[in-house]
Amino acid sequence: MRTFAAPSRRARRTVVVGLLGLLVLLVGLFVPAVAGAAPRNPTNAEIAAAQRRHAADVAALGRLSGQLAAVDADIERTRTSLDAAIAAYNETSRRLQQATAEVERTGRALAAAQTAVDDAREQARVEIRRSYMRGPVLSLGGVAVSDDPTAQTDALAMRRYLAVQSEGAVARLQLATVTASNARAATRLAEERATALQVQAGRERDQVLRALADYQARQAALAAERRSLERQAALAYGRVRQLRSQRAAFVAWAAEVARKRAAERARQAALARQRERQRQRELARQNATAVAPPASVGSWGNPMSPGTYSISTCFCMRWGVFHWGVDFAADYGTPIHAIASGRVVAAGPAQGFGNWVVIDHGSNTYSVYGHMRVLKVYAGERVRRGQLIALVGSEGQSTGPHMHLEIRIGGIEGTKIDPQVFLAQRGIQV
């Protein structure tokens, strides 16, 4: 049963540096999220279209204002004519009232004249009767007040007689008859004038009402059109302001994101410089003190010198996935040696490993080394056991400086087996 020694101070420092590197990676990944979700950034075409719409609405409103001014002047002229028509209608109504009063007055005069005629006729009959009772007289078959033309001769005789007998009664009868005739004519004239004025007043009233309705309708239509254009222009201006506000918010957000990213890049650069200084110090220390080759038994050896590393991850499940090798945590620049002689079949960048070295040891056995910063061999080169092939780094998917070792049987893409067990079977304890 294999026992493990407590991690050295260097190993603990390596773990701390690895954790710091992981933290830096996570912060770098989530920096954009700190600034919040990006607000909508309207396009220049959207803003230009909204501005054109607003300008068109303002121009239309200006044109309408000019039309309204012209229509207002036209309406003012129409109102002057309307006022004149109303005044004419009022004058006609006044004259109609006077004509109606005249009809009533002449009617009363006609009634009074007719009564006077009736009274005069009655008096004349009384006088004629009285004269008849006094003695023989001419035939009274016709009188002056008769409407029968065949009685004119008797009427003349009667007038002569009445001139002597009843001159006063005849005179009153004649005067009453003339007065009644004049009253009748005046009444007909007043009625005709009143009828004509009534027709004229009706026409003028209808004209005034139509003019008023047209005036009010034009005013209402123009006012409604003006309100509609004003609302439309206000909405267009509101759209322009909304788009400009969205653009300003996006510009502010983008500036904040750029500032935070620049700050993060500066921080990352500072950390990188710090790590590089540490790596240079480690390289200087290692160059000053030569590191002996790793222990070996027979044809196989340790990939790193004891005391320069610690096992940080085994051939096991890790973070929900299987880890197909063993991780040798060490400082930057720690030498890595070939575990056996063979031919280098790959040396350079590789996905996930950052950089890798693959050595074919024969018998379908391959060793794979990953995450190195510096490679000391090239593909096709023959190497011997214990030869320096690379220096520890933290390239690719790595959380700190270490060397990842895999053993594959059956080819470069063959079955992966536990490197610790493989080496232990060959007398190498790692």
Tell me: the pLDDT tens digits for 144-157?
A: 444 554 455 555 55
Prediction pTM value: 0.35
- Distance, in Å, from the CA atom of 392 to the CA atom of 111, rounded to the nearest integer, reads 144
Label each residue of 398-427 as H, E or C: CCCCEEEEEEEECCCCCEEECHHHHHHHCC
- Distance, in Å, from the CA atom of 406 to the CA atom of 418, rounded to the nearest integer, reads 7
Taking alpha carbons only, the member of 216, 185, 225 closest to residue 102 is 185
Reported as type and span, the H/E element at residue 368 is strand 365-370
What is the full per-residue pLDDT of the chain (430 aa) written as tens digits? Answer: 333 344 455 545 554 445 545 444 444 444 444 456 788 888 888 888 888 877 887 787 777 777 677 767 776 776 777 777 778 778 877 877 887 787 788 778 778 877 877 887 777 777 767 666 654 444 444 444 445 544 555 555 555 555 555 566 666 677 777 877 887 787 788 778 778 877 877 787 788 788 778 878 887 888 888 888 788 878 878 878 888 888 888 888 889 989 999 999 999 999 888 888 887 777 666 554 434 445 444 589 999 999 999 999 889 888 888 889 999 999 999 999 999 999 999 999 999 999 999 999 999 999 999 999 999 999 999 999 999 999 999 999 898 999 999 999 998 999 999 999 999 999 899 8
What three-state secondary structure class fits 302? Answer: coil
Which residues are CB-neighbours of 99 under 8 A, at least 6 positions away? 190, 193, 194, 197
Sequence length of the chain is 430
DSSP 128: H
Q: Token pair of 60, please?
A: 């239309």
Q: What region, left, alpha or beta, does residue 411 occupy, with left being phi > 0 and alpha being psi -120 to 50 degrees?
A: left
Express each pLDDT in 68-119 by its tens digit: 777 677 767 767 777 777 787 788 778 778 877 877 887 787 788 778 778 8
- CB 329 within 8 Å of CB 402: yes
Tokens 């600034």 locate to: 35
Taking alpha carbons only, the member of 291, 278, 311 closest to residue 405 is 311
